[in-house]
Structure 1
Amino acid sequence: MAQLSTPVEERVVEKANPTGPAKSKHGWLSRLRSYFVFNPLIWLYTFVLGIVSIPAGFFDRGGRLLHGFARVWSVLIMKTICSPVSVEGLESINTHKTCVYAVNHASALDIPMLYVYLPFQFRIAFKKELLSYPIVGWHLKRSGQICIDQQNSAASIGSIRAALKSLKSGLPLVIFPEGGRTPDGEIKPFMAGAFFLAIKAQVDIVPVALIGTFDLLPMNTYHIKSQPLKVKFGAPISTASLSLRDTEALSEKVRNSMLQLFHSTSSLHTD
């Protein structure tokens, strides 16, 4: 059985940062606003909603209430950071249909964006390391999200089974097929898990490109630089005629679609 952490390709990745370099306006004023306004408010939202959601977690077997708390948390964050978001392609997606959503991962703020702009309850695959975060780890576990342990083969098999069970129950699944955040704005090679699951469950896979989030908040910083963002949905890709032997070909097809979505946008920076 394939593991969620199995590399599919090891070729040189394309540059994937269409937003260009950050402008000089992101200086000390931007840092002060980020460190003394944005971040404290985000921590406050996380603490308050996390504490309030704890009782709900013991009675919410389907995860609907906890998903609602996560969505409120995400809406508050997206409104706080003063970054307008435009959405393209969602109108062509049947949001009532169970699919795997393959999303590029560039920022810690990708997840709040998804909770705001995916208009349905879903499960999300997350790295085991997040379980160690206070409140956040508890919420992920209680709400039925899919924990991925990339260092443990047996645990990976359990994650696959949990993900398949979620898909067969009718809940869409969000996966970051790169396996983690990009350190440099490039879309990294994909891993096999998302495509194995889509074929095994015989559900469509939808490529989604989040644009601008790397410049908004890259790795290893708390400096949130407000700017316009985009969420772009590609056409669903069917797995109806595919077998597990087609996993690599499906991965390449989805990645090419994501790259096209990512690069077919004009600069998001405004004067």
Structure 2
Amino acid sequence: MIMLTKILSIFIYITMSIPLALIGILFVISVIFLPSKMNTFGRLTSICVLKCLFIRLRINGNIPSDRSLILMYNHSCFIDPFLFAYSSPGKTTGITAIENYKLPVFGWMLKKWNAIPIDRSNIQNAKKSIEQGEKAFKEGYNVIILPEGTRTVTGKIKKFKKGGFHMAINTRAPILPIGSKGAFSFKPKNRWYLKPGLVELNVGEIIEPSRYDELGVNGLVNEVREQMKKLTGYELEE
């Protein structure tokens, strides 16, 4: 069974290069001629990528489109950005590791999508990135944040960075936790071959700003982690 999975993985890696090249060409065209349709194209790109990888995506619950939110997801796989782009309604941006900007093609796409780079090794630069996120929220954008910072290698939900929670408190932005389940099984960080199948995005309960004074930063972190645990079925890393 594992051998068949590895053979299928090699087939996917080879065959997906052609449609991904076409997606890249269409992306360049959209940037030049349809800059106002970037979010729409992001969703179409994500659909194509997920189909090429033989992933079935199911969204359980509703992500409101009538208000701006901070969308917090767990981070377990390289396909996560495509899951998030597909599921996020309305104008959306996100905070991403500055290293991603150095990746060929993908880094350029992030720039065109106005993703906000964050350098966690430099506190002052990291604060500036959080301020950019606050500005985007005030301009009506949903802001995607991965509070773990980097992908899990164990399948457990890692400890959270607090920058996104300070941002929520500063802007009085509601937080919506969303748990990604199945992406880690598809392709964990330390395994080369793929296991195509079902990936679920389970939408949690919005945490309203009216609770922030009561919870504080640490309480807010714990609330989101507990929701993530229930939404994904994954254990929390100590």
Say whether the fold is shared (TM-score over 0.5): yes
Task: Give 1:74-223 correspondences, 5 Å limit.
Answer: 74-90=46-62, 93-223=63-193
Query: Following TM superposition, by how much is the alpha carbon of 1:181 offset from its aligned partner in structure 2, in angstroms?
Result: 0.3
AA partner of residue 60 (structure 2)? E
Q: 2:42 aligns with which of 63, 70, 79?
A: 70
Between the aligned partners of 1:146 and 1:203, the Cα distance in structure 2 is 17
- Report SS of the residue matched to 2:75: coil
Other structure's SS at 2:210 match:
coil
CA shift, 1:64, in A, is 4.1
Q: Which residue of 2 aligns with 1:15?
A: none
Q: Which region of structure 1 is more displaced relative to structure 2, 116-125 or 214-223? A: 116-125
**Deviation of 1:83 (Å):** 2.9
Alignment correspondent of 2:210:
240
| Structure 2 gap ranges (5+) | none
Q: How far does the alpha carbon of each residue in 1:104-138 deviate from its partner, in whole angstroms, 9 at most, with x for none?
A: 01101122122222333311211111111111111
Residues of 2 paired with 1:218 and 1:224: CA distance?
Answer: 9
Q: Deviations over 1:58-82 (max 9, x none)?
A: 576xx64333332222101222222
Distance 1:244 1:55 in 2: 49
- Of all paired residues, the percent bearing the same amino acid is 25
Runs of 4+ in 1 over 6 A off after TM superposition: none
The runs of 5 or more residues in structure 1 that have no matched partner are 1-24, 265-271
1:54 equivalent among 11, 16, 28: 28
8 Å contact kept, 2:131–2:167: no
Q: Does the 8 A contact of 1:39 with 1:222 survive in 2?
A: no
Q: Which amino acid aligns with 1:152?
A: N
1:56: how far off? 4.0
Q: Secondary structure at the match of 1:94?
A: coil
- What is the one-letter code of the residue matched to 2:18? L
Q: Over aligned residue pairs, what C-alpha RMSD do you find?
A: 2.2
Partner Cα distance (2:32, 2:211) in 1: 41
Work out the CA distance in 2 between the residues paired with 1:66 and 1:41. Answer: 26
Give the direction of change, closer, same or farther, for the CA distance of 1:154–1:251 in structure 2 (3 Å limit): same
Measure, in 2, the Cα distance between the counterparts of 1:45 and 1:148.
Answer: 30
